[in-house]
A and B are shown apart, each in its own frame.
Chain A
Amino acid sequence: MSQRSVGLLASVMARGLQISSTRGLRAKKRKEKPQSLPQHKWDMRDLQRQTGGEYTYKPLRLRRLGGRDPDTGHKVNQHIGGGVKFDYFLTDYHRRGPTESDKTYDERVLEVRRDANRTSHIAFVAGMHGKRWILATENMKAGDIIKTTCHLPENPVIGVEGNSYPVGSLAPGTLINSVERYPTMDSEVFIRQAGHAATVVKHQGDFTVIRLPHKHEFSLHKECMATVGRLSHGDITEKIFGSAQMHRRFGYKMSSGLWHKKDGYCGRKIKPLPPVRVLDAPSAPGPPLIQITLSKDQLSGLHGHAKVHNLLPSGYSHGEYRDTGDFGMDLTPYKK
């Protein structure tokens, strides 16, 4: 690598860009597990466009991606596509209430209904500040009053199902769902799947350790809100679609014959559980994506003498080499 190329690379890295490249063809390995593919079922940008980023309880008609990447339009997940368009309900995962000890924000459950777009049932609740859809817990029914408090008492409380508390205020052993990762209104939540629940394990200072259904433990800030109870529709695993066609109607395509899960014949590898992961601050947003189009010449992956024909250095051509650096990329835009 020449000195000039190193300088260029340093300037590129200083701009916060990450360059990754693979040389040659990758060795053929086992096909990746299909679970790792993104589903790409709903176009969330369409959701943003329709709602303007604001919450609405009204049913929406979202654009379906059918397993295609929203940027490129290429088919990414071949097991998604087709099906009937169901109305999409925005669910609110973040419940907030007063921080005073004797006050709560109360809502009444108006309706509990199934949702074609998620496994758990959803509940329509109304309170003083408006109406919204939330994930329904196991025994939630129309007419129930659910309470929300952000108060952190000195002694842990035994939560009531459907009510929402900060995780730091719940007694160890409490089953919870819709657990915020960080105490912010835009954070993602754990436990959204039907019949699932996390368990409060212990409290450590400003943090509370919870155990997820797959037994991994996370340490969250004690102000993260969570709803008490197991999520509804726990028997969804016992239900069957009934026919392959019904499976297709929900937008899933056949997926057999591509990847075979390893069975017990080879013995199952028992991996130790990872240590408790501490979620103290949201991770910084990644660097912006930059789209670079490589020419056919650059895609060849050949550099220096290997890039030209054997006969060319022998005097058959007097053209100059293009300034492409050692990476096979045109770095002209980064020379400034």
Chain B
Amino acid sequence: MPYRRYRPHRQFGIHDTHTFKMRLRKHVSERMPVFELPKAVQASDVRIYESSEPELFSRQIVQDERKQAEQNLKAIFSNYQPNTPKNMVQSLLNKEFAKTHGQPAYVFQAEEPLCDGVDQASILSNAIVRETLPDWVMKNVDEFDIPEEYVRDSILHGEKYDPTLEKLPIRHDPIIFWIRHPRVFGTPVVKRGNTILDNLFRQVYFAGRRNGKLQGLIVKRDPWISAYTESSNLFGDRPFVLRFRPHVLVESENADIPQLRPWLNQVEEASKEPLPDIYPISPLVDLQTDKFYHDYDGANALLTGIHKDMFKDLNPELLKDLSKEQLERLGALMSPNRNKSRFLAAMWCCERNQKYPWTTEQHAANAILHTYGLALAEANRRFFDLQLAEKALASNPIIMRGAQLFEGKLDLVTIQLNTMHHNSERKNFVWLQRALPLYKPRPYYEEMHELGQVEMGTMKKFTALIAGHPPKQTS
């Protein structure tokens, strides 16, 4: 797929030049039809930019987006009611800001591989890991019908066509290490994977809608997720913070979806199983030490640089210094709809480190901690008080699904969050299927012209995981 600069194989002679000039002249002389705005676009009443404007991306669009975010925020403040989360956030900040701001914490940022893989992830997430998919996923495998042609198109869209021509990283060959390979231009691996995940999710969504499911979904792209647990015996007096950025985050619009408790009966029995022992390695050995910012990690919003007085009244002067991203975060935090949606699933992809590649085990562990972090983030934003959260989770655990794409293979994870606290007697459940082959990709520096075999079995499992609905309660 990458683009190579044109390099002639043989001498470009005078006759070739003559022919080329003739063809070019003819090509240039052809008149293109004048572009007319389609009526459907005109009817949608969207702002249309002039693409030849040199400052289009540097100024115009940025300004407009910022203005839009500012207007949204003002609208939210104008509709302020005493019982909106605004008060909750204010009290939260007043009480806990000073207490927890800058406190040292163990942080997982998906940058380091876990030494001991799944076992270590199991301890960090306080979960019993089953190396299979849940029963309801396996039952739903044949429920959704997605033609193979659609899947092939979805994959080829990411792998074959170049949406960008970025400079790709230097190629490193561990055998002939002294060779300087030519730099190629194309689409980075992560961007390709993200495109494929987007397409696959779209196919899943349409398949679900055809079956009358997956209604009222909100899909977010590249959101920052941050979640935390309180200090426990494992982490000492420090909280455990997970920060990462999945590409696709699926939320349900309907906060009143029936509470799922499929394996509630098995919690007590399964919690008696011991967690794996990874002695002599400490489970914390791969976590980074950073500071815990309650305004970022706790309230799940980036408020760095925003003064507390902003919450008393919307001061337009203060908004001037904020970036578009901060405005959006603030709007999301203040939004009365904030607590009305539920995280359902997330998808992301990884890139191979050329010099120090991660193992399959380490990728699976990464997928577990991502999904666990997502479930924690959902619990964090649903329950401000962690003590109350424990009681609520005992009767209504949180189910979260995650899919990780790495080199054409999918790690599928389902987690049932029964507890947020590592000292609790209850344990969480993780169902893991690691490195399920979907297709065989080419190296990033080569072009993919033809897609080989696509494993539709993997696609069916992926579909059933994302679109399938767990039963309300199992016996």
Contacts and interface: CB of A to CB of B under 8 A. Distances in A.
B35 interface: no
Interface secondary structure of B, over-half rule: loop
B57 interface: no
A245 to B, nearest CB: 9
Contacts of B355: 59, 87
Contacts of A128: 280-282, 285
A127 interface: yes
Contacts of A131: 115, 285-286
Interface residues of A, number: 15
Contacts of B279: 106
Nearest to A145: B280
Interface residues of B, number: 11
B178 interface: yes
Interface in A119-139: 126-131
A84 B280 CA distance: 37
Given A59-B355, A59-B356, A110-B115, A129 B282 contact: yes
Contacts of B285: 126-128, 130-131
Nearest to B278: A108
A140 to B, nearest CB: 15
A145 B286 CA distance: 19
A131 B283 CA distance: 12
Nearest to B282: A128
A200 to B, nearest CB: 27
Contacts of A106: 279-280
B12 interface: no
Among A84, A87, A128, find the residue whose CB has the most chain B CB atoms closer than 10 A: A128
Interface string B349-363: 000000110000000
A63 interface: no
Nearest to A110: B115
A217 interface: no
Interface string A58-82: 0100000000000000000000000
A107 B280 contact: yes
A118 interface: no
A261 to B, nearest CB: 30
Interface string B140-177: 00000000000000000000000000000000000001
B78 to A, nearest CB: 50
B443 to A, nearest CB: 21
Contacts of B356: 59
A251 to B, nearest CB: 11
Given A126-B282, A127-B282, 17 more contacts: A59-B355, A59-B356, A84-B177, A87-B355, A108-B280, A110-B115, A126-B115, A126-B285, A127-B280, A128-B280, A128-B281, A128-B282, A128-B285, A129-B282, A131-B285, A131-B286, A145-B280
Interface of A: 59, 84, 87, 106-108, 110, 126-131, 145, 249
